[in-house]
Amino acid sequence: MSNVTCAFIIQRPPYKSETSTLGFTHAISWQVVEMLLDEGQNVVPTVCFVGEGVLNLYTNQKAMENYGVTSIESHGKNSLLVDLDMLVCKEDLERFGIPEDRLLDAEDMGADKKLQIVPYAEIQKAMESCKHLLFF
Amino acid sequence: MGTLTIGCFASLVGSKSLDFTLKLANAAADKGHKVNLWLSGNATVMGKNHQKHLKDYSTGEKPTMELLKKGVEICECEACALARGIQKPDAIEGIQWNAMHWYLAKIYNSDRVLHVGGE
């Protein structure tokens, strides 16, 4: 009986393809994986945003208005709401000139978790500590 | 022997990644490994029956049937399939339909995971 750790590394930009959305939805599905496992078993995901993946975290996305689909921002907020650890590469935010106050949070939904903006070295450490890596 | 879970997100047509995935799953099954295959995103088109094998395009139905006969568990994302107009009566028999937690549960019990991303 133990947990299996997985890192979901989101590196693709939003909306250009379905890839980053699937990264979020697969990570969120951790919420119900216990239904298919034995007592005491669980999968513990950590979601990491690197490269163009950090662009998924912009706040005030207008996906419904522009594309008629749920925004990736809402997937991000739901991820925080279900207590996913979400690490964001500090260097990549700086590279794109994205200030921290332009990033989503889920305080309005009552989430306790917040995005963790960390140097890439910490993301590397998190990936090395996980049993499986899934790149989106 | 080990357990290998492969997640594939690439389309059958327009990429050779899914073709590669099926061949890899077949090789692993032939070596006696337990293989699970999760199809999500554009890869769910693979689960559609009555594929015509035009020589210019990859086809997945025949190799998939062989994998199923060898005991490979194949499951596709129901939402991804329905969004692409594939209904259950159109699905290849033996392919399971479920949601993303199926993939995570198989990952839990796997020695190795290969995640073949989409475009």
Q: What is the mean pLDDT of each run of 10 residues along chain A (136 residues)?
A: 93 95 97 95 97 98 96 98 97 98 97 98 98 97
B104/A41 CB distance under 8 A = no
> How far is CA B4 from each of CA A3, B68, B78, B106, rounded to the nearest angstrom?
18, 15, 22, 9
Which residues from A are below 8 Å from B when comparing CB atoms? 4, 6, 17-19, 22, 25-26, 29-33, 35-37, 41-43, 45, 132-136
Residue written as tokens 């989430």? A111
Tell me the ipTM for this assembly. Answer: 0.91
Cβ atoms within 10 Å, residue A70: 13
What SS3 class is residue A49? strand
pLDDT at A108: 96
Helix (H, G, I), strand (E, B) or coil at A46: strand
* Domain B3-35+44-50+58-116, CATH: 3.40.1260.10
Integer angstrom CA distances of residue B31 from A20, B24, B69: 34, 11, 15
Domain boundaries, chain A: 3-135
Across the interface, do B118 and A19 touch by the CB < 8 Å criterion? Answer: yes
Domain positions in chain B: 3-35+44-50+58-116
pLDDT tens column, B47-71: 999 998 888 888 899 999 999 999 9
Does an H or E element contain A3, and which?
strand A3-10
Q: Options 3.40.50.300, 3.40.50.2000, 3.90.1150.10, 3.40.1260.10; which CATH number does A3-135 get?
A: 3.40.1260.10
Q: Is the dihedral of CA B34, A48, B100, B91 positive or negative?
A: negative
A132: exposed, middle or buried (C-beta count within 10 Å: 0-12, 13-18, 19+)? buried
